[in-house]
Amino acid sequence: MTADQFCRLLQALVCSPRVQSQWQISDRGMPVFAHTIDVALLCLDAYPDWRERFPDFRLDVVLIGCLLHDLTKVNARIGDGLSHSHIMTHEPAIAAGEAMSALDEAQSTVCVWLDQEGIDHVWHVVAAHHGRWGKVAPRTPEAALVHQSDNYSATHHRTAPVDANDVLPLLDRGYKWAQIGQLLGVSRAIVKSRLQDACRAERVRSTTELLGIWREQGAVRPADDEHAEQIERARFIVDFARRCPESLLERVRPCLPVEEQSLDPVLDW
Ligand SMILES: [Fe+2]
């Protein structure tokens, strides 16, 4: 597969209805689609180091695995499927099977096919992405990296891309917490917790006092430094995810081998 063909396949995968359907569900306020892109970005950041440690490292397998690893969450939340964590602990073949069928569709759309070894490898990456919390342990560097990045994204970046400075202008206009949640695309609980975070950071006891600071200064401290940084990262991820596939392809292209002017250039992953 050439670098161009791989980019076409990646684009088809990102744009496929199944992968896009991950926008419809969120974990702690972070759309699952944005989380999958975050996992891909973390893998891309780590890639130079892993390529050096493992000369045959396959970035194509990793990126495809990232995009497809959480597809069963959609059916579990808006269909009648088993929960994703149950699948990963008891029947990871279901997650891998769903990934394979999404991959098949994308491949047929662009007439680009991954080699059989790559397909088997993606199967393993998806089946093993929960690491020791799942039934299948990662047995390859590619599976280990996706698991590590997935775990990091879930524990460090999974938060709603909203803070008190988004909430206060709406509160000032008389909206209720539930309405603000609807307008910002998050739950009422997240609106409440963001206001509490800011009250703690500004050392005030009530939302009324917080609103006073916001009216006076135009902004408040949204949270403690660590949490504020998490929210900023979440904003970046969601914005980056909205600009996909272009934004992702821009990040991926420099990592792909430059093709020589041969008739049938072949990627050396
Ligand atoms: Fe995940």
Q: Specify the CATH number for the domain of residue 183.
A: 1.10.10.10
Residues 15 and 97 in one domain: yes
Query: Do 68 and 126 form a contact (C-beta atoms < 8 A)?
Result: yes
Provide the pLDDT for residue 77: 79
User: Which distant-in-sequence residues (6+ apart) come within 8 Å of 32 by Cβ?
Assistant: 22, 23, 25, 26, 70, 73, 74
Bridge partners, 251 (sequence order): none
Residue 262 belongs to a domain: no
Residues 9 and 114 in one domain: yes
- Which stretches does DSSP call E strand in the chain? 26-27, 30-31
Provide the pLDDT for residue 267: 55
Residues 42 and 171 in one domain: no
Report the separation in Å between the CA atom of 136 and the middle of ligand 1, taken as the mean of its atom positions.
Answer: 15
Provide the pLDDT for residue 260: 54
The pTM for the full model equals 0.87
Report the separation in Å between the CA atom of 35 and the middle of ligand 1, taken as the mean of its atom positions.
Answer: 7
Provide the pLDDT for residue 261: 46
One DSSP character per residue, 14-38 reads HHSHHHHGGGG-EETTEEHHHHHHH
Domain encompassing residue 37: 3-158+233-255
Identity of residue 14: V
For residue 99, give the CATH number of its domain: 1.10.3210
Angle of CA points 192, 195, 199, to nearest 5°: 135
Neighbours of ion ligand 1 (CB under 5 A): 70, 150
Report the separation in Å between the CA atom of 38 and the middle of ligand 1, taken as the mean of its atom positions.
Answer: 9
Residues 18 and 35 in one domain: yes
Report the separation in Å between the CA atom of 126 and the middle of ligand 1, taken as the mean of its atom positions.
Answer: 10
Provide the pLDDT for residue 158: 87
Provide the pLDDT for residue 86: 87
Report the separation in Å between the CA atom of 216 and the middle of ligand 1, taken as the mean of its atom positions.
Answer: 41
Residues 96 and 136 in one domain: yes
Query: Do 4 and 259 form a contact (C-beta atoms < 8 A)?
Result: yes
Report the separation in Å between the CA atom of 84 and the middle of ligand 1, taken as the mean of its atom positions.
Answer: 10
pLDDT tens, residue order, the chain (269 aa): 899 999 999 999 999 999 999 999 888 889 999 999 999 999 999 999 999 999 899 999 999 999 999 998 888 777 777 888 888 899 999 999 999 999 999 999 999 999 999 999 999 999 999 998 989 999 999 999 999 999 999 999 888 999 999 999 999 999 999 999 999 988 999 999 999 999 999 999 999 999 999 999 999 999 999 999 999 999 999 999 999 999 999 999 999 987 654 445 455 55
Provide the pLDDT for residue 263: 44
Residues 44 and 102 in one domain: yes
Residues 70 and 170 in one domain: no
Report the separation in Å between the CA atom of 241 and the middle of ligand 1, taken as the mean of its atom positions.
Answer: 15
Residues 215 and 95 in one domain: no
Residues 22 and 102 in one domain: yes
Report the separation in Å between the CA atom of 189 and the middle of ligand 1, taken as the mean of its atom positions.
Answer: 23
Residues 205 and 171 in one domain: yes
Report the separation in Å between the CA atom of 69 and the middle of ligand 1, taken as the mean of its atom positions.
Answer: 6
Domain count across the chain: 2
Residues 49 and 22 in one domain: yes
Residue 137 belongs to a domain: yes
Report the separation in Å between the CA atom of 151 and the middle of ligand 1, taken as the mean of its atom positions.
Answer: 7
Residues 84 and 110 in one domain: yes
Residue 260 belongs to a domain: no
Provide the pLDDT for residue 258: 76
Residue 189 belongs to a domain: yes
Provide the pLDDT for residue 74: 85
Residue 228 belongs to a domain: no
Provide the pLDDT for residue 265: 47
Residue 263 belongs to a domain: no
